[in-house]
Amino acid sequence: MVRSILIAALAATATALSASHHAARNAELFTIDLGRGETRIVTEEEKWALKKAGKNFIDITHHPNFASSASPKRAVAAVTYPSGMAQEDTVKSLINKLDKTYIQEQLTTFSNFFTRFYLSNEGKQASDWLLTEVQGVIEASGAKGASAKAFPHNWIQSSIIATIPGKSANKIVVGAHLDSINQSNRTGRSPGADDDGSGCVGNLEALRVLLTDPKIAAGEGVNTLEFHWYSGEEGGLLGSGDIFDAYAANKTVVKAMLQQDMTGFGSNPMGVITDRVDAGLTTYMRKVIDAYTEIGYVDTECGYGCSDHASAMAAGYPASFVIESAMNITNNDIHSDRDTLDKINWDHVLEHSKMVVGYAYELTFAEL
């Protein structure tokens, strides 16, 4: 009886704290950058109304040093990328190890969380599960000095950073966002199979395969390789904003960032995003796609603040974004309870994983 009373009291306390947190957040004001020099101060509900209307933005409330479309403060670092591929034999042997069944199993579990909304308890459970999976992949590899850690924020769901050290601290980054959202009902079912479960598990499989390479595992890369899984992308690139702002403040060197957001819908050529990205890195990504995938690409635009590469660019880091197709034919069921496994083309996710392996291995061993 006493134990039942204690459990009930703890549950009531947790509910009260959650309600208090949401009330405080609803009263907070946020500064967002919508592009074209337009910034606004909005409430939480006004943010979600803009998202529901299809307006992308970067929440710069806690990132005053970010370059914005209104007042650029930080130039993107100039990096010269290789003119071609230098590691084709090794990369192709690694690509042959990619396991579509592993991707299917991981995405099935990941999309079975009721929601991965970044302000929800289920969202925290999903990020905790993914961190355990990433850590398991690293531990199984025995990679020297490699680690995976949660990156905490001032909301309940953490981001994740996996680090495979190289000979220098200069970073090559692969990103995806781990949160999901149902824009019609933020507390409702939100499987996020394509957006962005597909990018998350495709990157996890690329990491697993890369760690089977003896040179990667021994830390012999010229650069340090990092895989990021960001929280709160749907709220205005929040998790990636915190991470890249912290990197900029610490003068961390990031030589390249590739975002993978939606990789599983359709059977069309990949979409290489051309607006608000680094031109040199984007040119290089076209070469990677030609060298290591079978479906090719088309150039396409996604608008301001459409995914986490925008946080890297705002912090002064060269970034690129390759999505599942041209933007006008991407998955229409995202941000709803219909973004489900039956919409996923597993071979398409695998093609993106091939690209990630090529990008990551080539640039980890490149003098930049």
Taking the domains of the chain in order of start, what are their residue ranges?
Answer: 2-59, 88-364
Of 109, 120, 129, 238, the residue nearest 186 (C-alpha): 120
pLDDT in tens, the chain (368 residues): 433 433 344 344 344 444 444 555 667 999 888 888 888 999 999 999 998 898 999 999 998 778 777 665 568 889 999 999 999 999 999 999 999 999 999 999 999 999 999 999 999 999 999 999 999 999 999 999 999 999 999 999 999 999 999 999 999 999 999 999 999 999 999 999 999 999 999 999 999 999 999 999 999 999 999 999 999 999 999 999 999 999 999 999 999 999 999 999 999 999 999 999 999 999 999 999 999 999 999 999 999 999 999 999 999 999 999 999 999 999 999 999 999 999 999 999 999 999 999 999 999 999 99
SS3 (DSSP) at 313: helix
Task: Give the helix, strand, coil percentages of the chain, each rounded to 5.
Answer: 45, 15, 40
Find the distance separating the first CA and the last CA of the chain, reported in whole Å: 66
Between 121-141 and 199-210, two packed helices, what is the crossing angle to 10 degrees? 20
Is 298 within 8 Å of 326 (Cβ atoms)?
yes
Element (H, E) at 46: helix 44-52
* Residue 172 bridge partners (DSSP): 225, 256
Q: Does domain 88-364 have CATH number 1.10.287.10?
A: no
What are residue 50's phi and psi, to 5 degrees?
Answer: -65, -45
Residue 60 in contact with residue 31, Cβ under 8 Å? yes
Distances in Å between the alpha carbon of 130 and those of 19, 58, 60, 294, 300? Answer: 26, 25, 27, 29, 31
The angle subtended at Cα 119 by Cα 194 and Cα 63, nearest 5°, is: 95
Q: How large is the C-alpha radius of gyration of the chain?
A: 20
